[in-house]
Structure 1
Amino acid sequence: MDDYPLLNVFWTMLWFFLWIMWLFLLFKVITDIFRDHELSGWGKAGWLIFCIVLPYLGVLVYVIARGKGMGLRDAKQAKEAESRFQEYIRQTAGTQGGGGSATDELARLAELKEKGAITPEEFEKAKAKVLA
C-alpha cells in the first residue's frame, strides 16, 4: 500500500462512485425513453442512439431537454401504482368473508335507519338477512 497514497485511494473511490451514479442515471434515462408514451418511435430510437453513441453527452442533453418531463412521468407512475395498490386493498378487504363486508352493510343500514330512509321493521329484516 506504500505505492498507492491515501489521497489516490480517495480519488479512485470518488471516480468509481461518480461512474456508478452515472450508470444509474443512464438506466433511468433509458427507462424514461421507453416509458414516455408521447414520444414517437423515431424519437425514442434517436434518443437511444444518442445516449449509446455519445453516452455522457447524450444523458446530459436528455436530462436538460426532458428532465422536467422525467419528474412528471415518475410522479404519475408513482400515483398510478399507489392507486392500483389502494384499489387492490379495497378489493381484497371487500371480498374477504371475515365480516368486513357484513360490518359495512350493517353500518350502511344503521345510517339509513337514522336518516329515516327505512323503517325499523325494514332495518330488522335487512339486518337478519345480512347476518344469515
Structure 2
Amino acid sequence: MWNSFWDFIWGMVVIFAFVAYLLVLFYILSDLFRDRKLSGWFKAIWIIFLIVIPYLTALVYLIARGRGMTERTIAAQQQVQQQTDDYIRNVAGKSSTEQIADAKALLDSGTITPQEFEALKAKALA
C-alpha cells in the first residue's frame, strides 16, 4: 500500500485532513439544527451544498456564520450550566440559614421546644 516513507506521511496527512473535515462538518450540522432563526429551506440548501461542494461550502459557512456559531454555542453552554446549577441546588437542599429560619418558625409556633431548636441549629451549622 505504502511504497515509501513519504507515501506513509502523505497518507497520514490525507487521513488527518479527512478527520478534521468530518469534525468541522458535524459542528456545522449541529449548528444548523441549533439555529432557530434560519428557515428549513435555507438549512436544506446548506446541507445540499455541504454534500455537493463540501470543502468550499464548509469554508464559506465558517466565514459567513462563524460569529453566530460562537453565540449559539455559548448560549447552549450557558443553558446547560444553568440547568446543572438548578439541579445541584435542588438536590443539595436548603442552606443552613434557611434550615435555621424554618426551625425558628417551628419554635415560634410552639411545635418544637427550645432544646430541639438548639439541636436543629447545631445540626444546620455543622
Q: Same fold (TM over 0.5)?
A: yes
Offset from partner CA, 1:11-69 (integer Å, 9 cap, x none)? 21111011101011011111111110111111111111111121111111111110111
Quick one: which amino acid aligns to residue 82 of structure 1? Q
Equivalent runs, 1:34-45 vs 2, <5 Å: 34-45=33-44
Please state how far the C-alpha of 1:105 moved relative to its aligned partner.
Answer: 2.2
Alignment correspondent of 2:96 = 103
Match of 1:18, as an amino acid? Answer: A
1:113 maps to what in 2? none
Deviations 1:91-113 (A, max 9, x none): 1112xxxxxx3734244479xxx
Q: CA RMSD in A?
A: 2.8
* Matched pairs, number: 114
Task: Tell me the TM-score normalised to structure 1 length.
Answer: 0.73
Which secondary structure state, in structure 1, belongs to the residue aligned with residue 38 of structure 2? coil
Residue number in structure 2 paired with 1:50: 49
Runs of 4+ aligned structure 1 residues displaced above 6 Å come to: none
1:24-103 map, 5 Å: 24-94=23-93, 101=94, 103=96
User: Which runs of no fewer than 5 residues in structure 1 stay unpaired?
Assistant: 95-100, 111-120
Distance 2:99 2:91 in 1: 19
- Between the aligned partners of 2:37 and 2:57, the Cα distance in structure 1 is 20
- Distance (Å, rounded) in 1 between the aligned partners of 2:75 and 2:95: 35
Q: Give me the whole-angstrom Cα distance separating, in 2, the residues matched to 1:128 and 1:13.
A: 74
Q: Structure 2 CA distance, aligned partners of 1:102 and 1:42?
A: 50
1:115 corresponds to which residue? none
